[in-house]
Every structure is written in C-alpha cells, then in structure tokens.
Amino acid sequence: MNLSIFRNFIFRASLFSLILINFSCGFNSNGSSTSKVVQDIEVPVSTVKSRPNISELTQEQIRSYAKINSCYLPLLNDSTLYPDNKRSFFSWNELLNDSLAKDNPYRNRYLVGDFMALDENLQNLGIEEINPDLSKLLDFEKYNQELFTLMDAAVDSKDSETALFAYIKKNYPEDSEVLTNFYSKIWKFKTPALNKKFAVINNKAFALGQKLCLCEAKQDTLLLISRFSTSAKSLIPSEKKDETGKVLSTSYVRSLPIGKTRSYYGAQYLITSKNWETARKYENLDKFHDEKLGGGNNRVTFFKTGAQLPNFLLMTPGKDYPKAMRQNGIHEVALSGLSMGMLGSANSIGCIRVTDFGSKFVRWWVPQNAKFFILYAENRYFSELPIESLEQYLPFKNEEEGNAFRKWLIETKPLKASQLEIDLTGKYDNGHILEAYNLYGKEYEAYQSNR
C-alpha cells in the first residue's frame, strides 16, 4: 500500500474511533448520564457523520433528549408546559442573551427551571444533582486536571487547601489571585451532589424532581453544565396579628401555582440583578468577573422579616408574561421555616431556592440578563407521597443515633459541618441533618462498619 494512502486510512480510522468515544462516553448502558462529564445527548453513531444543527432535530428527538437533559425543554413544542396559549415553544435563537455582544463568549448561557416532580406516568422522579465540571468550563480551559483534583480535595481539609494554594502559586503565578479568589469565594463551598428519592418533614413525604439547570446553547447541541435541586412555590405566608397590627406569628398555607394561579410563573424571565451576601467580601476581582459577564453588584437582599436572601438573582418576567409575579429571585435556602431538606420538592413561597454551593456557583456563572425558562405540566408539579410510616425511611431511629452522626461529621469534616449548620446535638429528623446524611451517609456507614 502507498505510504500516503496508508496514513490517510489510519487518520480516518482514528477519527472514527474518536467519534465513537465522543458519543458513548457520557452515558451508561441504561442511557443514564454519568457524573464526570458535561451532560449531552447521545446520538447513534451509525446514523450520523456529524452532529446535525439543533434546527434540524425533530420534535420526537427533542422530546427524547429533554427526558435526559432539561436544557432541551424550551425547544419542545408542548403547550401543557406553559401558563397560557400565547406560545408553546422557544426557538434556538431565543435561548441566547440579547444584551451581550454577539462575540461575547458568555452569550449562550441560559437557565431552565424544570419544576416537575413526577414523570410522565405520574411517578416520583427523585432528584440527582450534577455538579459542574471545571475542565468543561470556558473559564478554566487553559488549566490542567491536577489543579481541578487539588481544588476538589481542598474543600474537606485545611492541609489540602494549603497544598492547593502552593500549587497555584508555583504553576500559575500570573493567575494566582484569580484562581485563589474563585476557590475561596465559590469552590470551597462545594458539597457532593444530592441524590435522593423523596423529602420528609413533619411526618409527611413529598415527591422530588424540581431542578435548576445551567445550560449552554451550541449550534449542534445544548450542554447541561450543572443541575441543582431546587424548590419553587407551594406555600403562602399567613400572619397572625394583634390589635395594633403587630405580627405575632407566621404560618404557611398550601398555595400551588396551578389552575387559576398558573400564571404566577411566566415561561421566560431575565436575570436583571445579581446581588451578593454578607458572608463574603465583594472585592475588585469579583467586580472584574461580573463585568466580563455583563454586570453584577454588591447589594444584599433581605426578606421583609429581616432574613438575608444570599446571592439573590432577580428574575424579571419577559414581556409576554405580564401576569407573572415580580420581585421573585433565585437564592440560597434562607428562611428557617422552610426546610433545606425539602429541596427538590415544591416548598417555597415564590422564590427559587437552591443550596449554599448552588447559589454561589450560579451567581458566579450566570451572565447579566441571561434567559431563565420555567416550564412544568400542572399535574406533575407537586405530590405528597402516601407513606404510612416514615420511620423506616429515616437514617436514624432516635436522637442518640443522630447525634453520633453529628459528632462524626464535626470531627472529620468541620468545614462542611459548619457550612451545613450541623450542631453537636439536635433533632434526628430535621432538614439539616437529613441533608448532611444524604451527602456524607455512605462515608459514615463505612466508618461505622470498620469500627
């Protein structure tokens, strides 16, 4: 065989192998996505020479993709996901940020609120978060895998954190301040991805599935950068007042955004204000990063009771949804009456609540005036599960067992115990300890079995 022909043959064979790897590495044999890669849609290699443009996808394909990757939901022509009959889908171009310049690399970022807790068969979905992969982000494309490994190790240990800072200073001196600031303000608060089937509170169980998805629109695919559990509206505050009008107590009454109040949420918003929190200093590097993404500020948002709403992202309804409630936003779980352990279920009084790490990362990642799409079918929005006794589903039988876990977490992961607000003693079935167990329960059980 002629040498040039042989080389050409080898090149084509290698290219075909790369295509096979590209389309197969993101999914397990059962079609579920792995946690180590940016989520994408599997396309059969045998039928494709190159990926088709999004505009060429059929509705059947989009519906199939959306079951795996909620970033495709806005493209799905389905009026049941919308609050009125004005429209039933968005085009690819409508996903893009209209306020950023066309050559701005962050213009293709958008958010999707997939607020369905039940699947198409009205069965509990459960929640499976996907943490962002730094190696897949535009901001980190020039750095190596060792840096990302050290960043992940540093979140649990002061010694590992010291090793990370030394590595950054030695290997990336020009970017040392930027990388250290990102770790200290954002990545330091990373926790394992939540993975659970239902939430429990006050001897009741609720279906989970509501999620906030961070997406990037490419011509040939919609990338799922991260998926955080969230909680949308299901409650309205009811205040008990004395004769002078002073509020004596506040309780919460069920009030779902369905039926006559379906227009409470519009199908599309803009993130028009990116606020901050008192727990972190807003410094020049933070301001510089905000400027790259079109804007941001150091204001702190407070609820009317005085409770802080950390990293509040104001969501302003699009012009097509004038009836949608204004002044809502995305923020960290903050109100003590609404349990952190309920994330993934409808359990908010209107705002979109996420975890501590989720709120910080979304605040850092999302551009000013990014599109935020909220989509859900009414009959899949909320469900209380018919469980007679919750005791069998709780990880602890009593406070003694719960306190043993608290002690272990505080001793082995003091940084995370503090972040998750875990005290040395307390209830064995509240949202904080159940959420902490969901994150670190496997490690704890391994510790228990080796004692």
pLDDT along the chain (451 residues), means of 10: 39 37 33 40 46 92 96 97 94 97 96 97 94 95 96 92 97 97 97 88 86 96 97 84 76 89 97 97 98 97 90 96 94 71 89 95 98 98 80 82 92 86 87 85 88 79
User: What pLDDT does 450 receive?
Assistant: 84
- Picking from 57, 60, 95, the residue whose alpha carbon sits closest to that of residue 267 is 95
Spatial distance between the Cα atoms of 271 and 313, rounded to a whole number of angstroms: 6
- What amino acid is encoded at 198 in this protein? F
Q: How far is CA 35 from the centre of its chain?
A: 13
Spatial distance between the Cα atoms of 343 and 346, rounded to a whole number of angstroms: 8
Spatial distance between the Cα atoms of 443 and 440, rounded to a whole number of angstroms: 6
User: What pLDDT does 189 receive?
Assistant: 95
Spatial distance between the Cα atoms of 253 and 238, rounded to a whole number of angstroms: 7
Sole residue written with tokens 């709780």: 394
Spatial distance between the Cα atoms of 20 and 225, rounded to a whole number of angstroms: 22
pTM score of the predicted model: 0.84
- Return the bridge partners of 118, or none: 124
- Return the bridge partners of 300, or none: 276
DSSP state of 140: G
Structure tokens at 451: 């004692």
Spatial distance between the Cα atoms of 45 and 55, rounded to a whole number of angstroms: 19
Sole residue written with tokens 């926790």: 191
Q: From residue 60, how far is each of 68, 178, 219 by CA, in Å?
A: 13, 44, 19
User: What pLDDT does 237 receive?
Assistant: 75
* CA angle, residues 213, 216, 217, in degrees to nearest 5: 125
- What amino acid is encoded at 325 in this protein? M
Spatial distance between the Cα atoms of 297 and 223, rounded to a whole number of angstroms: 28
- Picking from 235, 223, 188, 209, the residue whose alpha carbon sits closest to that of residue 360 is 188
Q: From residue 59, how far is each of 43, 45, 75, 77, 414 by CA, in Å?
A: 15, 20, 8, 7, 49
Structure tokens at 256: 């779902």
Q: What is the dihedral of CA 134, 140, 145, 149, to 10 degrees?
A: -50
> 23, exposed or middle or buried, with CB in 10 Å at 0-12, 13-18, 19+?
middle
Residue 413's contacts (CB-CB under 8 Å, 6 or more residues apart) are 156, 440
Spatial distance between the Cα atoms of 355 and 331, rounded to a whole number of angstroms: 8
Sole residue written with tokens 């901050």: 276
133 Rama class: left (phi>0) / alpha (psi -120 to 50) / beta: beta
Length of the chain: 451
Q: How many CB atoms lie within 10 A of CB 9?
A: 11
Structure tokens at 305: 């009771």
Spatial distance between the Cα atoms of 404 and 409, rounded to a whole number of angstroms: 9
User: What pLDDT does 11 receive?
Assistant: 38
CATH superfamily of 61-131+190-392: L,D-transpeptidase catalytic domain-like (2.40.440.10)
Return the half-sphere exposure (C-beta side, CA atoms, 13 A cut-off) of residue 13.
6
User: What pLDDT does 392 receive?
Assistant: 67
Q: Are strands 127-128 and 195-196 parallel, antiparallel or unpaired?
A: antiparallel
Which run of H or of E encompasses 288?
A: helix 284-292
Are residues 234 and 255 in contact, defined by beta-carbon separation less than 8 angstroms?
yes
User: What pLDDT does 338 receive?
Assistant: 57
CATH 2.40.440.10 domain position(s) in the chain: 61-131+190-392
- Picking from 309, 333, 314, 334, the residue whose alpha carbon sits closest to that of residue 324 is 314
User: What pLDDT does 242 receive?
Assistant: 79
